[in-house]
Every structure is written in C-alpha cells, then in structure tokens.
Amino acid sequence: MASKRANEELPVIARFEVRRRNCLAPDGSAVRPLPAFAADAKLLVELYRSMVLLRLFDRKAVALQRTGRLGTYAVSLGQEAVSVGVASAMREEDVLLPSYRDNGALLWRGVRLEEILLFWGGDERGNQFSGPVHDFPFCVPVGSQAPHAAGVAYALKLRKEPRVAVCLFGDGATSKGDVYEAMNFAGAHKLPVVFVATNNQWAISVPLRLQTGSETLAQKAIAAGFSGEQVDGNDVVAMRAAAEEAIAAARNGTGPRFIEAVTYRLGDHTTSDDALRYRSPEEVQAHWKEEPLARFRSYLVGQKMWTKADEERLAAECHERIEAAVECYLSTPPRRPETMFDNLYADLPETYVAQRHELAGEDDA
C-alpha cells in the first residue's frame, strides 16, 4: 500500500489516447456529419463499384482455382472497404506497397484484372503491371514490405517530392520486427509514409489475442513517435476519410501516420485454407451483419445515389469485365522456359548464357 501511494506521487510524464473513427453504422445510416468528399456522388458510386467488382472478381478467381486454372488465391471478402478506401485517397504519384491481399488497392490504381490472374496463376508477367510504374508488387513474405515503405519515404523526403508511401499489411504482420523497425525509423525521421494494418482478426488460424497483448494495434504507432487511429474498416467512407487525412498530413511534412482498419476476414485465409478447422460458422455469420458492401449500398440508396437498376447494370458490367479478363488470362500462353533468365540481372552474365541455351533446347553438348 505504501508503495502504491508513493507511485501515485510520481509525476505522469506522458499520456496517450487512441481514437476510433466511423461514419456509417452497419445499417448504412450516418453516425456523424460526413467528410466533404461525401458530397461527391460520383466518387461514392465509384467506391461502391470498385468494391463490388472486387467481390465478384474474387468469386471468379476462387472458381478458377477450384477447377485447377489458378494457383493459391487470397480473397478480400469482407475487407473490400479497406484496400479500396485507402487507394482512393492516394494520388497517382504516391507509392503503394501492398500485401498479397490488397487486390482492391491495385485495381483502383489501374492494375488490370488479367494481370492479377497472371500473378496468382504463376506467371511473373503479372507483376509487370499496368498500375503506376513506381508501385510495388504484392508482398508475400509477411510484413517485409514495411521497411521498403520507410525506404521509399526516405527517398521522397530526400528529393523533397510531395509524395507519400502507403503501406498495407495485416494484423499478423504487426508481430514482425520488420514492421516495428520500419515504423520506428519513419517516426525518427518524420517520413512521409502511412502504414495501414488491416486487422481482420485472424492470421490464418491465429486469432488476434494470440498475436498481441496490446489493446489496439493503433497504439503501436505511439511508441514509434506518431499517432495511430482505429477505423471501422467495414465503412468505406471512414476508411477513405482516415486515409485522406493521414496522407495529407504525411504529404505536408508532419511525419508518418498509422491506421488500424478493424474488419473481419469472412472467407478462408486462402484457397489452401479451411477456416472451419479453427473458427465457428456462427462467429463468421455474426460478422456478416457488418460487412462493407450492404452497408454502403444502403447509404447510397438512402441518398438516392443508387438504384436497383444501377445494381443490375453493375452486376452485368462486372460480369463482362471479369469474363473478358479470364479469357485474356487463359489464352495467354506460358512464357518459354528460357525466359526464367530474363531480368535476372540487367545483362545476363556470360557465365549463365549456357544454362539459358540449355533451357531453350539449343544445347547439343
């Protein structure tokens, strides 16, 4: 008791708080005055269309995988608002550093559906995509793109370019040193970078409570010297607003920001996973009530920005786009074997030319 009293006499030298942002309730009603961009009906509809396209594309990709025409694939089911919302707040010249589950962000930035299929179909040409040339490809080794984001941001700052690096990763990734190290450096140098953790509650079968003892992921930014905010990741308006603010702050030289987007992985981890092994259908079912598409559609319909006819037209349009992309992907023949030596180095060293010839079937030695 005595020591407790003594402790209370010690001065508090720092206090922190973490805020949570949401704009739309699960039923689609606005819970607070919406940000300025919400007056732009065209933008809102575009956000909605992108999320629908992503969901339908995912469905097709899984069907392709199940019939042996695509490799392992990770769906965004339930998380569409995160990658789409964040990417929509970026400028073309900003730099995206995505994880393997951020199809939504790539699509928004101009990557073509067939390029995404090529990548997951096991063809390196999928990474030579139509998105901004400076964007990074999908990152498979979890969290390892975070230090790249800090490096990109350092380069942008060094050259005094008003551009921002935007790095997306999962809740599992926040356990890796890569992520802490990147945030720490970014904080120390006040770099123009925004880190977005898509907290979908699961890293394959590992639930968040085994990942960290921390109350929020957002507060991890505080130790790195910048602010973190928790956002309803099923609310695309909130996601876009949070990203817009964070990116603007980073662009204005006030340093990094961290966004914890709280959502839920409604699907299996990937097509190689069976989530029923480790979580109950009831749990998943409960989260369907909060999913991002229905919520946003309700809002749009309520605002007279969207109709049933629009919905039908959109479905048909998406279907057509997806089928065309699948057709393009399936009719792209594999590269010739020797191309595995293409772009290994700027110029293939003489030492390896014979190996390339052997692959090309030009070796008769």
Q: Does 170 bind ligand TPP (CB under 6 A)?
A: yes
- Of the residues 101, 240, 269, 295, only one is catalytic, namely 269
Instruction: State the Cα angle at 259 between 279 and 33, rounded to 5°.
Output: 105
- Residue 313, beta-bridge partner list: none
Q: By rule CB under 5 A, what string of x and - marks binding of each residue 180-209 to Mg ion?
A: --------------------x--x------
Q: Does 265 bind ligand TPP (CB under 6 A)?
A: yes
265 counts as catalytic: yes
Position 143, amino acid: G
The binding site for other proteins (CB under 8 A) comprises 71-72, 100, 120-124, 138, 140-143, 172-173, 175-177, 203-206, 210-212, 272-273, 277-278, 334-335, 337, 339-341, 344, 351-352, 355, 359
Cβ at position 98, least distance to other proteins in Å: 13
Q: Which stretch binds ligand TPP (CB under 6 A): 89-97, 201-209, 214-222, 296-304?
A: 201-209
- Contact between 19 and 217 (Cβ < 8 Å): no
299 counts as catalytic: no
Nearer to other proteins, 121 or 192 (CB): 121
- How many whole angstroms separate alpha carbon 348 and alpha carbon 74? 34
2 CB-contact burial (10 Å; exposed 0-12 / middle 13-18 / buried 19+)? exposed
Nearer to ligand TPP, 141 or 334 (CB): 141
Q: Which does 101 bind (CB under 5 to 8 A by kind): ligand TPP, Mg ion, other proteins, none?
A: ligand TPP
209 counts as catalytic: no
Q: CB-side exposure of 319: number of CA atoms within 13 Å? A: 6
Nearer to other proteins, 302 or 337 (CB): 337
Structure token pair of residue 107: 């699509």
Q: Is the dihedral of CA 265, 266, 270, 275 positive or negative?
A: positive
Three-state SS at 51: helix
Nearer to ligand TPP, 50 or 145 (CB): 145
Size of the site for ligand TPP (CB under 6 A): 16
Length of the chain, please? 365
The DSSP secondary-structure symbol of 11 reads: P
- How many whole angstroms separate alpha carbon 142 and alpha carbon 100? 9
Q: Which does 124 bind (CB under 5 to 8 A by kind): ligand TPP, Mg ion, other proteins, none?
A: other proteins
Structure token pair of residue 355: 């190996």
- Contact between 103 and 137 (Cβ < 8 Å): no
Which run of H or E residues covers position 47? helix 41-66
Nearer to other proteins, 4 or 277 (CB): 277
Residues at the interface with Mg ion (CB under 5 A) = 170-171, 200, 203
Residues at the interface with ligand TPP (CB under 6 A) = 101, 140-142, 169-173, 198, 200, 202-204, 265, 269
Q: Which residues are catalytic?
A: 265, 269, 278
